[in-house]
Structure formats: C-alpha cells, structure tokens
C-alpha cells in the first residue's frame, strides 16, 4: 500500500490562507492525498500564527502544521503549541522551549506519518543547537513502528538543506526545505529512498518580494528609509511537493513539484 503526502510551503498572510482553504481540499481529493503537512509560520499578517488561524487551518483539512523561526512571534499561540498534538516547533531550540518536537498523524487507512522540523544554523538570527544532531535525536525518539517520517529544515542556506538531505537519506521518507519562499527545481529521490527538495516555495502572493508589497520593499532597498513590509495581494499560488511513499518501507516512490495558481491570479 502506498501513502500520498502533500507538503505545502510557507503560507503568507490572508492570501496564503485563502488559497489553502480553497485549493487544499481539491488537490487532496484529486491526487488522493492521505496526509498534508503545511508550514504556517507566516500565516498571521506575514509573521507568526494565532490560535484563531490554527483553528481555521484545521477546519480547512490541514493535518500537520510546522513552524520555523517565527514560531513565537505571536505569543498567544504558545498554549496551542503546548496542548495540540498536530503542530510542532523546531526541535533545535532551547530544551525548555514550549511545544512538541515531532507530531504523528494517523491516516484514514491507519498509516502513521511523523513530522519534525529543525532550523538551519547558517545566516539565521536565532541561536540554535546543531540541526544535524537535533535531527538524529528526534529520529531516535519517534516510535520504531512509524515507517513514514517527514523532516523539514527551515533554513537560509541551500548548502545546509542539501547536506541535511544527504544526512537523512534512507532514514526518513521526505526531506524538504522551507524559509526562502522560492520554490527550487531540484526535487528528486536520493539513492537510499528519501524524497528531497531544497525549498517547497511560498504559498501566497507572488506579485511581491517574498510575499511582501514589492513597492514598499523596493522603496526601503533604494532609499534606506525603513517602511512596513505589508503582505502583497496578487498572483496567489500554492507551492509544495507531492510524494508517494511505500507505507511499509517508508521509501519514496515518486516526487512531484506542485504549483497551483489561485483564482485571483492577475
């Protein structure tokens, strides 16, 4: 039996939430998705997540949620992180950081899927533990009867993401990168059976600079005068990766980039 996973890249603001709500159920039905995993760390006006938005993602059919360096940007989400079993914080933060280091979802067919996230250590603002050691530690904590494991590396450096792919090849089903908001074209199945992509890309407005109003970003970059980077509005897309995994071995069988255009695309 195979299990189909849909991994969705960083959801940015209300445009990103809108396309997840509208497109995710249709993609899941059309492609036979058993479990979808969505990075939601930019969902609240472009930075962080709130309990209300968490509930909306659950209602939209999101089964597993991940967060990155903006995990605690909205402090009201901390209680949700401590009490909900389908949302995780990066595993290489401080040991006392609130939230789960991995989560497990059981599909309708009884297959269990685990997910965990680590933050990259290169060019990131947060001080974190070694992502490679953290990944090893979390893997040792996941029950041995969970055969499908998805690893996310939320990082700036492509080199670090690729290195993590090689580090985890054969030990997880999927390794995907997030954070840079630009979908890469290097999707593949590594030699030992792990699907990989350096970055899933952004889910949100692409008539923008990484989801932000391009005029305001250009103004700040060309004048050196700070200005709020409001979330953009147009050319809405859902980006991610579709992976078919052998449910018994946990090895990836096929991998496909997804870029779904929203109805409001201009």
Point out which residues pair with 154 in neighbouring strands.
119, 178
Q: Write the secondary structure of 31-85 as one string of H (helix), E (strand) and C (coil).
A: HCCCEEEEECCECCCCCCCCHHHHHHHHHCCCCEEECCCCCCCCHHHHHHHHHCC
Residue pointed to by tokens 């074209």: 185
238 token code pair: 């859902």
Decide: 161 and 120 in contact? Cβ < 8 Å: yes
Q: Does residue 179 carry a catalytic annotation?
A: no
Report the alpha-carbon distance of residue 168 to residue 164 in Å, rounded: 6
**Best CA proximity match to 5, nearest among 253, 198, 178:** 253
Give Cβ neighbours of residue 207 (< 8 Å, ≥ 6 apart). Answer: 214, 232, 233, 234, 235, 266
Q: Which of 18, 70, 154, 206 is catalytic?
A: 70
CB neighbour class for 169 (10 Å; exposed up to 12, middle 13-18, buried from 19):
middle
186 token code pair: 């290097």
Sign of torsion over alpha carbons 101, 15, 53, 210: positive
Q: Which residues are catalytic?
A: 70
């Amino acid at each position: 039996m195979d299990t189909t996973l849909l991994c969705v890249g960083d959801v940015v603001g209300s445009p990103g939430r809108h396309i997840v709500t509208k497109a995710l159920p249709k993609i899941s039905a059309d492609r036979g998705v058993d479990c979808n995993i969505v990075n939601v760390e930019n969902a609240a006006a472009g930075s962080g997540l709130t309990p209300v938005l968490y509930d909306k993602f659950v209602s939209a059919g999101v089964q597993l949620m991940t967060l990155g360096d903006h995990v605690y940007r909205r402090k009201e989400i901390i209680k949700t992180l401590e009490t909900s079993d389908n949302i995780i914080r990066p595993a290489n933060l401080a040991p006392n950081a609130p939230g789960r280091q991995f989560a497990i979802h059981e599909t309708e067919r009884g297959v269990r899927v685990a997910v965990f996230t680590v933050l990259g250590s290169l060019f990131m603002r947060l001080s974190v533990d070694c992502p490679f050691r953290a990944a090893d530690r979390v893997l040792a904590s996941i029950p041995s009867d969970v055969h499908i494991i998805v690893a996310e590396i939320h990082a700036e450096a492509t080199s670090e993401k690729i290195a993590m792919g090689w580090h985890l090849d054969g030990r997880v089903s999927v390794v995907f990168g997030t954070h840079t908001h630009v979908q890469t074209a290097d999707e593949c199945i590594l030699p030992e059976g792990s699907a990989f992509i350096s970055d899933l890309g952004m889910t949100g407005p692409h008539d923008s600079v990484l989801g932000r109003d391009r005029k305001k970003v250009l103004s700040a970059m060309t004048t050196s005068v700070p200005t709020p980077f409001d979330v953009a509005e147009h050319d809405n897309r859902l980006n991610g990766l579709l992976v078919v995994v052998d449910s018994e071995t946990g090895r990836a069988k096929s991998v496909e980039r997804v870029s779904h255009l929203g109805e409001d695309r201009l």
